[in-house]
């Protein structure tokens, strides 16, 4: 990143974080793609394929996006303030990065579901999302795949915001991890309301919210998710702006 | 343009602990200031306020006459270099230096020149550097920031003596080339004494003394000469430190000598020198004296 102007550096930092992250995580993303293709081929030697492998990769991605958001805030906030940035500028940079990153990973997720639809269709495999022990949501066409995957960019932004709130709170104070108590159920609830396949994660966590939003339409779920994202972004920004830079550890 | 500094009735507390209490301090622009204090005196807390790393619990912190907190025009031209630097340890030295370009004033070419001069390898990761090299990297980032207010907080820790000397010289050269305000917080008082123009001593969260170096040096004297004559002259004066080598003795006293004492010293073959800043600092911050 070459010398920035004061007015533009918050945006150029956000863009820089995005391009550097793409380079850094390119190997991880490639590995996820390869695994999502190779594993079904291996499993198909013994069993019929009835579950979307890409759905697993795409859902693991939600948690990774949250970890990246929290990790970046925890690590980079003191560094950027030490480089003469204000906390407001840094919060804006993270906002720019979060939008770009969620959009990029979301587009990749959509492309992955469509590609998998083509592969599974050619091999006569069943592309389905496991919702419970027995219930599965079948994806029978490219239209189904697109409809199912379309909310993923927003879902990634939701998890990015959740990670940002958690990372900022943990940096702000030693007891900041307590923010996990409201953030996790609210995030899973919004994800459940918006995603046809429901939230994904450890069963004991998912049980908190499963079923609570069954009567909501996808559009209500999207609206709820947008409200959660905006609220979460404002909370994360407020915490960042109020955070003292921690003393150095000897 | 250099930044002046002003703290008005500033208090900073961490929980129940008061790190700074009712601090009133004005530092002139374009000078090298020394910030001295014992461990836990409040030096780092004071610098953290000036760099907007922290918000004061009470009072007002002004830099260049403007509030510093979240003020982009001001903080972008302030550099606080803490011991060990604020780096992502997994980054390379090269990208760590390049992070400095977040500042419009950052001089990348100068930073690379310094890295070469101080033999800091650009391709190594920060966590692979020795403590000394890490400190040098922090100092390089501070110098190349080309800030209007540059503060070094114990940045010399881990540097060997030749490196510290080279750093001080580079700091002075940069200061002469581009006048700006510098604050050096250090425990190695005698090493930096010659570079300082003003000195602030903080003790137990308060500004104990703030004056120019000459005023500090005039607060006492070092008497060197025949032991008996020195003892006679120093009798009744507050002795801060003393050394003896054979028949020669050197005594540091904590009060200025009047004209008659100077005459007696000259007659007895005693040399009068300025008091060492470190001796004076030890004296001024002695808990028995301050009642701490």
pLDDT digits (tens, 9 = 90+) for B41-54: 999 999 999 999 99
Q: Is the pLDDT of residue B279 over 90?
A: no
Alpha-carbon gap, residue B193 to B170, rounded angstroms? 16
A56-115 residues touching B, CB cutoff 8 A: 75-76, 78-89
Q: Do B72 and A3 touch (CB under 8 A)?
A: no
B80 in contact with A at a CB cutoff of 8 Å? yes
> Which among A3, A75, A79 has the least Cβ separation from residue B106?
A3
Share of chain B above pLDDT 70, in %: 98
Task: Give the ranges where chain B is alpha helix by DSSP (H).
Answer: 43-50, 72-75, 93-99, 108-117, 131-144, 161-177, 189-192, 213-217, 227-234, 259-267, 277-284, 287-290
Q: Across residues B214-242, what is the average pLDDT?
A: 87
Q: Are B41 and B191 in contact (CB under 8 A)?
A: no
Q: Is the pLDDT of residue B222 over 80?
A: yes
Q: Which residue has the higher pLDDT, B99 or A199?
A: B99
Band of the pLDDT at B83, cuts 50, 70, 90? confident
DSSP state of A134: S
Chain A closest CA to B158's CA: distance in Å? 12
How many domains does the structure of chain B reveal? 2
Q: Are B217 and B276 in contact (CB under 8 A)?
A: no
Per-residue pLDDT of chain A (250 residues; tens, 9 = 90+): 555 688 899 999 999 999 999 999 999 999 999 999 999 889 888 888 888 899 999 999 999 999 999 999 999 999 999 999 999 999 999 999 999 999 999 999 999 999 999 999 998 888 888 766 665 788 888 999 999 999 999 999 999 999 999 999 999 998 999 999 999 989 988 988 888 666 666 666 666 666 666 677 888 889 999 999 999 999 999 999 999 998 766 5
Q: Which of B13, B101, B102 to mutate to test the interface with A (most CBs of A within 10 A)?
A: B102
Q: Is the pLDDT of residue B124 over 60?
A: yes
Q: Please tell me whether residues B204 and B241 are part of one structural domain.
A: no
Domain boundaries, chain A: 9-36+43-242
Q: CB neighbours of B76 closer than 8 A, spacing ≥ 6?
A: A6, A84, A85, B103, B104, B105
> Which among B70, B77, B86 has the least Cβ separation from residue A82?
B86
Alpha-carbon gap, residue A73 to A66, rounded angstroms? 11
Q: Which domain holds residue B235?
A: 220-274
Question: Comparing C-alpha atoms, which of B135, B113, B134 is closest to residue B125?
Answer: B134
By C-alpha distance, the chain B residue nearest A84 is: B76
Q: Please tell me whether residues B141 and B11 are part of one structural domain.
A: yes
Read off the pLDDT of residues B1-20 as tens digits, 9 standing for 90 and up.
799 999 999 999 998 899 99
Q: Which of A11, A74, A82 to mutate to test the interface with B (most CBs of B within 10 A)?
A: A82
Whether residue B63 lies inside any domain: the answer is yes
Q: Across residues B97-109, what is the average pLDDT?
A: 95
Q: Do A81 and B88 touch (CB under 8 A)?
A: no
Residues of A in contact with B48 (CB under 8 A): 244-245, 247
Helix (H, G, I), strand (E, B) or coil at B22: strand
Choose the most confident range, by mean pLDDT, from A135-139, B26-30, B282-286: B26-30
Q: Is the pLDDT of residue B29 over 80?
A: yes
B82 in contact with A at a CB cutoff of 8 Å? yes
Question: What's the distance, CA A197 to chain centroid?
Answer: 15
Whether residue B292 lies inside any domain: the answer is no
Write down the pLDDT at residue B63.
Answer: 97
Question: Comparing C-alpha atoms, which of B217, B151, B153 is closest to residue B183?
Answer: B151
Q: How many residues does chain B have?
A: 292
Neighbour-count burial for A111-139, b at 16+ CB within 10 Å, e otherwise:
ebbeebbebbeeeebebbbbeeeeebbeb
Q: Are A200 and A194 in contact (CB under 8 A)?
A: no
> Which among A2, A79, A89 has the least Cβ separation from residue B86?
A79
B134-163 residues touching A, CB cutoff 8 A: 145, 147
Band of the pLDDT at B76, cuts 50, 70, 90? very high
Band of the pLDDT at B291, cuts 50, 70, 90? very low
By C-alpha distance, the chain B residue nearest A12 is: B102
Q: Are A195 and A149 in contact (CB under 8 A)?
A: no
Chain B closest CA to A118's CA: distance in Å? 40
Q: Please tell me whether residues B203 and B258 are part of one structural domain.
A: no
Write down the pLDDT at residue A3.
Answer: 57
Neighbour-count burial for A63-84, b at 16+ CB within 10 Å, e otherwise:
ebbbebbbebbbbbbbbbbbbb
Q: Do B70 and A247 touch (CB under 8 A)?
A: no
Share of chain B above pLDDT 90, in %: 71
Alpha-carbon gap, residue A35 to A50, rounded angstroms? 16
Q: Please tell me whether residues B134 and B188 are part of one structural domain.
A: yes
Read off the pLDDT of residues B143-156 as tens digits, 9 standing for 90 and up.
999 999 999 999 98
Q: CB neighbours of A243 closer than 8 A, spacing ≥ 6?
A: A77, A87, A168, A171, A172
Identify the CATH number of the domain in which residue B106 sits.
3.40.50.300
Q: Please tell me whether residues B127 and B265 are part of one structural domain.
A: no
Could you tell me the maximum CA-CA distance found in chain B, to the nearest angstrom? 66
Q: Do B44 and A84 touch (CB under 8 A)?
A: no
Band of the pLDDT at B274, cuts 50, 70, 90? confident
Write down the pLDDT at residue B253.
Answer: 86
Q: Is the pLDDT of residue B194 over 60?
A: yes
Q: Please tell me whether residues B205 and B236 are part of one structural domain.
A: no
Residues facing B242 on adjacent strands: B251
Q: Do B103 and A86 touch (CB under 8 A)?
A: no
Whether residue B167 lies inside any domain: the answer is yes
Pairing between β-strand B32-37 and β-strand B239-245 as defined by DSSP bridges: unpaired
B79 in contact with A at a CB cutoff of 8 Å? yes
> Which among B53, B86, B98 has the least Cβ separation from residue A244?
B53
Q: Do B48 and A79 touch (CB under 8 A)?
A: no
Number of CB pairs, chain A paired with chain B, less than 8 A apart: 82
Write down the pLDDT at residue B292.
Answer: 46
Q: Please tell me whether residues B203 and B251 are part of one structural domain.
A: no
Whether residue B288 lies inside any domain: the answer is no
Q: Please tell me whether residues B28 and B128 are part of one structural domain.
A: yes
Q: Which stretch of DSSP H or E encloses residue A169?
A: helix A152-172
ipTM of the complex: 0.88
């Amino acid at each position: 990143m070459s010398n920035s102007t004061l007015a533009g550096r918050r945006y150029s930092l956000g863009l820089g974080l995005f391009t550097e992250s793409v380079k850094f995580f390119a190997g991880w993303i490639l590995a996820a793609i390869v695994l999502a293709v190779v594993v079904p081929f291996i499993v198909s030697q013994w069993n019929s394929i009835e579950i979307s492998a890409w759905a697993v990769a795409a859902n693991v991605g939600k948690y990774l996006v949250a970890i990246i958001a929290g990790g970046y805030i925890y690590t980079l906030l003191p560094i950027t303030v030490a480089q003469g940035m204000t906390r407001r500028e840094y919060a804006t940079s993270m906002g720019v990065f979060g939008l770009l990153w969620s959009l990029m990973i979301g587009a990749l997720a959509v492309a992955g579901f469509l590609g998998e639809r083509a592969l599974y269709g050619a091999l006569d495999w069943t592309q389905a999302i496991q919702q419970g022990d027995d219930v599965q949501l079948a994806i029978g066409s490219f239209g189904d795949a697109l409809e199912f995957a379309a909310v993923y960019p927003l879902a990634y932004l939701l998890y990015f915001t959740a990670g940002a709130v958690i990372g900022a709170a943990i940096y702000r104070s030693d007891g900041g991890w307590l923010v996990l108590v409201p953030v996790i159920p609210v995030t899973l609830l919004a994800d459940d309301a918006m995603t046809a396949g429901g939230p994904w994660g450890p069963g004991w966590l998912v049980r908190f919210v499963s079923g609570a939003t069954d009567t909501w339409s996808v559009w209500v779920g999207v609206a709820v998710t947008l409200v959660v994202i905006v609220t979460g972004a404002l909370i994360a920004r407020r915490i960042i702006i109020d955070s003292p830079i921690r003393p150095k550890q000897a | 343009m250099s930044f002046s500094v002003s703290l008005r009735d500033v208090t900073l507390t961490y929980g129940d602990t008061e790190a700074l209490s009712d601090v009133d301090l004005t530092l002139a622009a374009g000078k090298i200031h020394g910030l001295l204090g014992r461990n836990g005196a409040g030096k780092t807390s004071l610098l953290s306020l000036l760099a907007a790393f922290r918000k004061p619990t009470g009072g007002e912190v002004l830099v260049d006459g403007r509030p510093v907190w979240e003020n982009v025009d001001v903080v972008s031209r302030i550099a606080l270099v803490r011991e060990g630097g604020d780096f992502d340890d997994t980054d390379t030295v090269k990208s760590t230096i390049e992070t400095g370009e977040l500042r419009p004033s950052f001089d990348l070419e100068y930073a690379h020149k310094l890295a070469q001069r101080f033999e800091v390898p650009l391709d190594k990761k920060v966590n692979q550097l020795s403590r000394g090299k890490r400190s040098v990297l922090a100092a390089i980032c501070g110098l190349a920031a080309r800030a209007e207010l540059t503060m070094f907080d114990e940045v010399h820790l881990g540097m060997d003596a030749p490196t510290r000397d080279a750093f001080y010289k580079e700091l002075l050269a940069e200061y002469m080339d581009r006048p700006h305000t510098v604050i050096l917080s250090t425990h190695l008082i005698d090493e930096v004494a010659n570079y300082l123009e003003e000195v602030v001593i903080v003790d137990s969260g308060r500004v104990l003394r703030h004056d120019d170096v000459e005023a500090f040096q005039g607060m006492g004297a070092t008497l060197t000469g025949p032991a008996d004559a020195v003892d006679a002259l120093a009798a009744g004066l507050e002795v801060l430190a003393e050394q003896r080598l054979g028949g020669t003795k050197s005594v540091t006293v904590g009060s200025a000598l009047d004209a008659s004492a100077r005459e007696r010293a000259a007659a007895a073959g005693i040399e009068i020198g300025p008091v060492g800043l470190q001796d004076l600092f030890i004296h001024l911050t002695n808990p028995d004296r301050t009642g701490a």
